[in-house]
Amino acid sequence: MNKKPWVNLTPIILFMFSYELMGAYDFFGLEYFQTFYLSIFFILFAIYLILEIKERFGNKDLHYHKLAIVLFCIIFTTGGGIAMLISSSRQPGGYLYIHDGALQTELAAKKLMAGRNFYTEDFTDGIFADWNDNQAFSFLGEEYDEIPTLYHYVYLPFYPILTVPAVLLIENIFGFYDQRILLYVAFLAALYLLYKLVKGKENKLLALTLFAFNPWFVQDLIEGKNDVLLLFFILWIVYLLRQNKIVQSSIILALAVLTKQTAWLLLPFYFFYLFWQKKNWRDSLVYVWQKTKWGILAGLVILLPFLFWDFKSFWQDIYQYPSGTLATSWPINGFGLSRFLYHTGVIKSIRDYYPFIIWQLVFCVPLAWWLIKIQAKKNSTTLMLFSYTLVLACFWFFSRFFQANYVVFIFQLLVIIYFIGYNGLTDEKD
């Protein structure tokens, strides 16, 4: 019995996501372009279906023809969206078209190039000088006269360090710089790694579509949110582990950990993935040290200068600011327990400090320990990544803020896990 479907999921999801992108977000902001885009896409959808029929009845492999359509849709949408928003960002009031974290990082890189510490200084210069011009910012109904982002840089130091050569190169080529160019390069590299990791031609096409054409992820990407950079690092780590290039993977992990706090929770599962490679615990510890010492060294080389430069400001920005212990901390916002406690009156103001760390320890530590015990029985990169995703989701739910892009990040991780852990005949031993 032939169980091959007449139509695969890829064109169906492409078609659905295309209309969601144009209808729900309309991020291009141009009616004529929206009409042109949908017309082009409908034609491509028809061609894709014709290719499916030809494959079924002609016994031809048309994978690369279908791949070209998928990639065209992805790059045309994401690249076009970024190009148009970059153009809008260069107009008066352009800061409205880009995520504040991207603006901050560009300015942080330029401060670093001038020999200034971006953790010590505020961000009231440059384009941020107009950030609060006659505006009030509202979070859950409470107004802020000045947004806390102006006074703290929450990301880890490797992100601005990575941005420095990008600024030098891109400004020399284009005459201006926009952080989204760097993030888009990371996005394209993530697509390549995902394509290499996924087994099976139809699975590759579907994985690319779900990962890169996801409307909510596309929206975050074109706004300049840096989740794509972490996803790129994670894919690179898994790719290197599957190539048995463990030393190189530990270096990339160090870079990820020193880019954004999101990567921190991957550390224990990565450690135990290596630890369970050996049966004797002494051999395991030696093995882990041998494989990670260069990654640890790379991390220390990046981190220590900033700790010695101004430890107090560094600690305030990367920990106290997001945890709520400062007067200028980021307010309670988003979804999860924090919003529930606020609306039920347990927390009186979104400015108040609340010890969410207690909830995180109570729920995340037992969950992590249980997952590590499972990992000891069936050790794999897929389980390592799945454990990280579960604990990260739990940690975020019980945190001060659990925002929409965090949900999208979890979704993207689940897409990766599903496809790299596929148990088909063509799958790896993982």
Confidence of residue 198 (pLDDT cuts 50, 70, 90): very high
> Residue 430 pLDDT > 60, yes or no?
no
Q: Per-residue pLDDT averaged across 290-316, rounded?
A: 96
Please check whether residue 160 is in contact with residue 118, taking contact to mean a CB–CB distance below 8 angstroms.
yes
When the pLDDT of each residue in the chain is averaged and rounded to a whole number, the result is 88
Q: What is the mean pLDDT of residues 52-77?
A: 88
pLDDT tens figures, 382-411: 999 999 999 999 999 999 989 889 999 999
Of the chain, the percentage scoring pLDDT greater than 70 comes to 87
Range with lowest mean pLDDT among 130-139, 295-304, 307-316, 358-367: 130-139
29: pLDDT strictly greater than 90: no
pLDDT in tens, 98-133: 888 898 999 999 999 999 999 999 887 766 666 555
Three-state SS annotation for the chain: CCCCCCCCHHHHHHHHHHHHHHHHHCCCCCHHHHHHHHHHHHHHHHHHHHHHHHHHHHCCCCHHHHHHHHHHHHHHHHHHHHHHHHHHHCCCCHHHHCCHHHHHHHHHHHHHHCCCCCCCCCCCCHHHHHCCCCCCEEECCEEECCCHHHHCCCCCCHHHHHHHHHHHHHHHHHCCCCHHHHHHHHHHHHHHHHHHHCCCHHHHHHHHHHHHCCHHHHHHHHHCCCHHHHHHHHHHHHHHHHCCCHHHHHHHHHHHHCCCHHHCCHHHHHHHHHHCCCCCHHHHHHHHHHHHHHHHHHHHHHHHHHHHHHHHHHHHHHHHHHHCCCCCCCCCEEECHHHHHHHCCCCCCCCCCCCHHHHHHHHHHHHHHHHHHHHHHCCCHHHHHHHHHHHHHHHHHCCCEECHHHHHHHHHHHHHHHHHCCCCCCCCCC
With beta carbons less than 8 A apart as the criterion, state whether 388 and 266 touch. Answer: yes
Question: Among 24-38, 239-253, 350-364, which is the least confidently predicted range?
Answer: 24-38
Q: Which of 337, 367, 335, 374 is nearest to 354 (CA)?
A: 337
* pLDDT for residue 9 is more than 90: no
Give the CA count within 13 Å in the CB-facing half-sphere of 243: 13
Instruction: Give CA–CA dist 247/262, Å, rounded.
Output: 21
Whether residue 425 is predicted with pLDDT greater than 60 in this model: the reply is no
Q: Which pLDDT score is estimated for 124? A: 79
- Model confidence at 426, pLDDT cuts 50, 70, 90, reads very low
Instruction: Please say if the pLDDT value at position 83 is more than 70.
Output: yes
pLDDT at 419: 94
What percent of the chain shows pLDDT beyond 90?
Answer: 59
Q: What tokens were used for 55?
A: 């494959």
230-248 pLDDT, tens digit per residue, is 999 999 999 999 999 999 9
Cα distances from 72 to residues 12, 43, 82, 84, 112, in angstroms, run 16, 13, 15, 17, 37
Residue 427 has pLDDT above 60, yes or no: no
The pLDDT score that the predictor gives to residue 429 is 46
User: Would you say residue 362 has pLDDT above 90?
Assistant: yes
Question: 14 or 36, which is more confident?
Answer: 14
Q: Which residues contact 281 (CB under 8 A, 6 or more apart)?
A: 275
| Bridge partners of residue 402, in order along the sequence | 334, 335
